[in-house]
């Protein structure tokens, strides 16, 4: 077929790819020509490493079988930092490992009709196309790393709207990136809800971990990704975000999640990050397991996780606040957050909903020994009377005297870290259902 015979309406993506490929060969031919703007006088550094490395990163099958539910439930690392970027594209992040939302056959439809994230990535980094010739279909236990590929073009649009743009700074700025290709499970055949089954999201979580662990070879500190497998593969962006965040936390690297101003399905992304940022990996993984055991058709993942995280705080108000460095710097957001927690607890009875919340004044005086003893007694009684609180309470609690209790008018938490014995000072919302415990103290 000749180019002149291509029907633009039927073969639009094919036509839009031609300038990318012609541009690559044109710039390569001009690089070493004397006097060319792409030569040494134009800023091109011939000493820059030119070798391109393609590696298959995998976990052996005998070892892979141990990466199941028990493995992830044992991970006690804290959730690492995650950055949300609404403006820059995935490939525009500096000093980052670029995630390729790959097809199992790497490159996908780059040389065909496809024009999704992977195809566009291979068009602006055309040296990556060589991997399509030498790499077999990816298995569940492997990802493909492509190192030191150079960028040759810019672009705008996506799929049918894709357009080539010249890279004016090509001769001045040598941009080379490392790309990690990892394929998601395809759910476009109507099996959308099967992605929440534990065996499926564990497989994808393992895929992310296998891909991200190669970042040590690249000497990079950040991973740049986004809506992996959420286009034609019909993945849930909420689930894919959490899986990538968990995997990045396990390899102790920062995740940059690029939305590109598309917040569909991610409206509560910031709330989820706030709720889970101080959790352990096993806690967040546990929420996914619980969600997989419920009815996913009634509630989306983010709302369910927010509810579960807030229920944990209501049932165990001490464990999460004692180590909270911001507990003595409450602002308006913390008050709003507590109101949201209260809204989630709609199963409480009417008299429980109307129960008063004990307040703490930030400027309250130091509590004496009697207050300390009362706090200890309160913590022990609360441990014995609460069926939901199974872990041993190892903290000493102090309570305010009657005068201080009457003066407090706002929801607040106090954590006194300056006590000579390192004893935490905290009061939590006491519901009417715990009235008997309060009276005994």
pLDDT digits (tens, 9 = 90+) for 98-133: 999 999 999 999 999 889 999 999 999 999 999 999
Instruction: Note whether residue 304 is domain-resident.
Output: no
Catalytic residue, candidates 118, 178, 183, 204: 118
Would you call 100 a catalytic residue per the annotation? Answer: yes
* 10 vs 352, more confident: 10
pLDDT at residue 315, as a whole number: 59
Residues 275 and 178 in one domain: yes
**Strand-strand pairing, 154-156 and 142-150:** unpaired
What count of residues does the chain have? 441
Q: Is residue 129 part of a domain?
A: yes
d(CA 128, CA 121): 9
Between 395 and 134, where is the model more confident?
134
Pair (245, 342) in one structural domain: no
Residue 175 lies in a domain: yes
pLDDT-derived band of residue 374, with 50, 70 and 90 as boundaries?
very low
171 pLDDT band (50/70/90 cuts)?
A: confident
306 inside domain = no
Range of the domain at 255: 3-292
Which positions make up the binding site?
Answer: 103, 117, 158
Q: By mean pLDDT, which of 17-21, 277-281, 411-415 is the weakest?
A: 411-415
pTM over 0.85: no
Partners of 150 in beta bridges: 176
pLDDT tier for residue 310 given thresholds of 50, 70 and 90: confident
- In the annotated binding site for substrate, the residues are 103, 117, 158
CATH number of the domain that 103 lies in? 3.40.220.10
The answer to whether residue 299 is domain-embedded is: no
Residue that wins the pLDDT comparison between 84 and 45:
84
Q: Which of 93-97, 185-189, 407-411 has the highest mean pLDDT?
A: 93-97
CA dihedral 242, 247, 249, 252 (to 10 degrees): -160
Q: Are residues 127 and 34 in the same domain?
A: yes
% pLDDT > 70, the chain: 63
For residue 278, CA distances in Å to 49, 196, 242, 325, 362 come to 41, 24, 14, 11, 24
When pLDDT is averaged across residues 220-245 and rounded to a whole number, the result is: 95
- Among the options 119, 183, 236, 316, which is catalytic? 119
Residue 39 has pLDDT above 90, yes or no: no
Question: What total number of domains does the chain contain?
Answer: 2
Separation CA 372–CA 7 (nearest Å): 82
119 flagged as catalytic: yes
Domain end marker among 292, 318, 342:
292
Position 250 in a domain: yes
Please check whether residue 318 lies inside any domain of the structure: no
**Could you report the per-residue pLDDT of 426-435, keeping only the tens digit for each?**
334 334 444 4
Q: Reply yes or no on whether 136 is catalytic.
A: no
Q: Are 156 and 48 members of one domain? A: yes
pLDDT in tens, 73-90: 999 999 999 999 999 999
Say if residue 203 is in the same domain as residue 341: no
Q: Please, are residues 158 and 230 in contact by the beta-carbon 8 Å criterion?
A: no
Backbone phi, then psi, for 109, in 5-degree steps? -100, 35
């Amino acid at each position: 077929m000749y180019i002149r015979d291509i029907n633009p309406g039927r073969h639009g993506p094919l036509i839009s790819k031609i300038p990318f490929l012609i541009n690559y060969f044109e710039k390569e031919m001009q690089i070493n020509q004397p006097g060319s703007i792409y030569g040494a006088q134009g800023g091109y550094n011939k000493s820059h490493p030119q070798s391109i490395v393609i590696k298959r990163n995998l976990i052996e099958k005998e070892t892979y079988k141990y990466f199941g539910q028990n493995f992830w439930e044992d991970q006690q690392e804290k959730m690492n930092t995650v950055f949300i970027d609404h403006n820059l594209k995935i490939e525009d992040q500096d000093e980052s490992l670029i995630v390729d939302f790959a097809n199992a056959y790497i490159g996908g439809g780059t040389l065909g009709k496809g024009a999704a994230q992977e195809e566009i990535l291979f068009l602006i980094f055309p040296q990556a196309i060589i991997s399509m010739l030498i790499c077999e279909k990816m298995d569940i236990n492997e990802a493909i790393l492509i190192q030191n590929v150079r960028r040759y073009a810019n672009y705008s649009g996506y799929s049918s709207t894709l357009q080539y743009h010249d890279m004016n700074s090509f001769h001045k700025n040598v941009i080379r990136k490392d790309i990690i290709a990892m394929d998601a499970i395809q759910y476009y055949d109507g099996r959308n809800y099967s992605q929440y089954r534990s065996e499926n999201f564990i497989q994808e979580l393992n895929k992310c971990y296998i891909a991200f662990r190669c970042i040590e070879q690249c000497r990079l500190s950040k991973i740049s990704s986004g809506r992996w497998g959420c286009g034609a593969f019909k993945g849930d962006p909420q689930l894919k975000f959490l899986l990538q965040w968990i995997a990045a936390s396990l390899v102790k690297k920062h995740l940059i999640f690029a939305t590109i101003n598309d917040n569909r399905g991610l409206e509560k992304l910031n709330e989820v990050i706030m709720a889970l940022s101080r959790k352990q990996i096993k806690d967040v993984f546990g929420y996914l397991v619980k969600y997989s055991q419920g009815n996913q058709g009634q509630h989306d993942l983010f709302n369910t996780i927010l509810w579960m995280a807030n229920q944990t705080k209501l049932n165990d108000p001490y464990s999460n606040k004692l180590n909270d460095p911001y507990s003595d710097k409450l602002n308006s957001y913390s008050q709003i957050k507590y109101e949201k927690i209260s809204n989630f607890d709609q199963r409480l009875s009417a008299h429980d909903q109307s129960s008063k919340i004990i307040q703490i004044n930030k400027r309250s005086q130091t509590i004496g020994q009697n207050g300390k003893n009362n706090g200890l007694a309160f913590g022990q009684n609360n441990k014995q009377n609460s069926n939901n609180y199974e872990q041993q309470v190892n903290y000493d609690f102090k309570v305010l005297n009657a005068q201080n209790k009457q003066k407090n008018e706002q929801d607040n938490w106090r954590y006194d870290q300056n006590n000579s014995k390192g004893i935490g000072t905290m009061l939590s919302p006491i519901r009417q259902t715990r009235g008997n415990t309060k009276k005994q103290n």
